[in-house]
Amino acid sequence: MAKVIAGVGCSHVPAIGAALDMGKTQEPYWKPVFDGFARAQEVMAKLKPDMVIEVYNDHGSAFSLQYIPTFCLGVQAEFQPCDEGWGPRPVPVVHGDPDFAWHLVESLILSDFDMTIVNEMEVDHGLTVPLSMMFGPVKEWPCPVIPLAVNVVTYPPPSGKRCFALGRAIKKAVEQYPKDMRVVVFGTGGMSHQIHGERCGLINKEFDKAFLDGLTADPQKIASIEHKTYVREAGAESIELVMWNVMRGSLEDNAIESFRFYHVPASNTAVGNIILTNPGVL
């Protein structure tokens, strides 16, 4: 059967993608960021996933304020990188797996998660930047990717507890799929940052590091963090971290921290990356 073997938490800062695309990875400002992700790529190469389920948020590219699904899942065969105002990123087309995606969406809906089914959409930096950071500059992504978009743009976003429960439902759905596959779940976004208002540029290293610690030490506590706590302690856009709870919920309770990277600054954002593996995987 299929099995979730690992989870990845990864920031999706658009400027990181731009630095990669423009050949700036060895410039003094960016080199520490890309050196950290190079080590993460070594871990991913050992994991050899057959499938990635990527939890991310759209940034007004696929969805406008007319339609705001809380949870939605893409079921098409391929997803083109979108033009976010400066042209599409020069990255490979994201190939999906309709058979697996339909199995996943059916299982989640029958597990009482009202998923929006998306038959056609493009994907933005929220999805493509973590792929670039985990797999490097490649001609083709090494495996199919199932996009699972979460609303963290307009209030109210789902709670951390609800996201954790979604991860549990994903774990169940994956294990019911009859094909042998090694599945890795990505939770993207964050960490602490605010890109507007009087607190623009806010970074809270203590909050970020405690969050990373808690993903292994006390994931239920992390899942219980309230929206107002994210906003107060780590900036308005840190609410994206609720998506990391989906990743954590898809893993075993005793998942192991196999890799961690944290760096400030990259643009005006704290960059976090963690890879958690189920026991015996590495």
Determine the 3-state secondary structure of 64 from DSSP.
Answer: coil
CATH number at residue 67: 3.40.830.10
Q: Does the residue 165 lie in any domain?
A: yes
pLDDT for res 252: 98
Pairing relationship of beta strands 269-277 and 116-118 according to DSSP bridges: unpaired
Residues paired with residue 132 on neighbouring β-strands, in sequence order: none
- Do the domain assignments include residue 282? no
Percent of residues in the chain assigned helix, strand, coil, to nearest 5:
35, 20, 40
The domain of 22 spans: 3-277
> Would the pTM of this model clear 0.85, i.e. be above it?
yes
- Asked if residues 264 and 202 have their Cβ atoms less than 8 Å apart, the reply is no
Distance (Å, rounded) from C-alpha 176 to C-alpha 93?
28
**69 inside domain:** yes
> DSSP E strands: which ranges in the chain?
3-10, 51-56, 71-74, 78-79, 94-95, 116-118, 145-150, 182-188, 256-266, 269-277
Domain count, the chain: 1
pLDDT 10s per residue in the chain (282 long)? Answer: 999 999 999 999 999 999 999 999 999 999 999 999 999 999 999 999 999 999 999 998 998 888 899 999 999 999 999 999 889 999 999 999 999 999 999 999 999 999 999 999 999 999 999 999 999 999 999 999 999 999 999 999 999 999 999 999 999 999 999 999 999 999 999 999 998 899 999 999 999 999 999 999 999 999 999 999 999 999 999 999 999 999 999 999 999 999 999 999 899 899 999 999 999 999
Q: Which residues are catalytic?
A: 125, 193
